Amino acid sequence: MIRWKFTFDKDEEQEWLNEYARQGWAMTKFCVGVVTFAPCQPGEYVYQIDLLPGKGLWADDYEGYVIFMDEMGVEVVQRWGRWVYLRKRAEDGPFEVYTDVESQLALYRRIRALFLWALVIEICCSISGFSTLARFPEDVFARGLAGFYIVILAVFLRAVLQCTRKIRELECQ
């Protein structure tokens, strides 16, 4: 089964995957918003999403992470750079990747830093797009491109703000 999901909200995506798992559909692949599911026993797996420590899109010691998770009975289902989809069999006990405020804060700070980095790159790229629009304001292609840049900018900005809100909530605990 294939479904479409496009979000940069980790918690929302995680809950969405777990809802399918409860209904007997286990996520097996993720590629640019296209999510592939395979049948499983209802509630057989619990899914979690993690962002590994690292720089830019590159994770520090990914192999070490996979071996460590494997020892904990956790399977890395899909990886995109530092972004990983994890699952554990529900019968092996509860599954939450981060169980204390300190490590949860560190996770949301990593996610926010990644989106801030993406936002800065996006702004740099959009400058050429907007300068083209300034020179050819009537050009349909230039307008479309500028619109596309604005949408991407809004998406990244929203992700940064969502992380900031979660960080503030955790800091209050």
Which of 98, 129, 130, 132 is in the footprint of other proteins by CB under 8 A?
98
| Contact (Cβ atoms closer than 8 angstroms) between residue 59 and residue 82 | yes
Applying CB under 8 A, the site for other proteins has a residue count of 21
C-beta of 110 vs 143, nearer to other proteins? 110
Per DSSP, the three-state class of 51 is: strand
Which of 44, 69, 78, 157 is in the footprint of other proteins by CB under 8 A?
69
Determine the interface stretch with other proteins among 61-69, 113-121, 148-156, 163-171 (rule: CB under 8 A).
Answer: 61-69
Which residues make beta-bridge pairs with 66? Answer: none
* Site membership for other proteins, residue 113 (CB under 8 A): no
What secondary structure does DSSP assign to 65-116, as a single string? Answer: HHHHHHHTTEEEEEEETTEEEEEEEGGG----S--SHHHHHHHHHHHHHHHH
Residues that bind other proteins (CB under 8 A): 50, 53, 65, 67-69, 71-74, 94-100, 102-103, 106-107
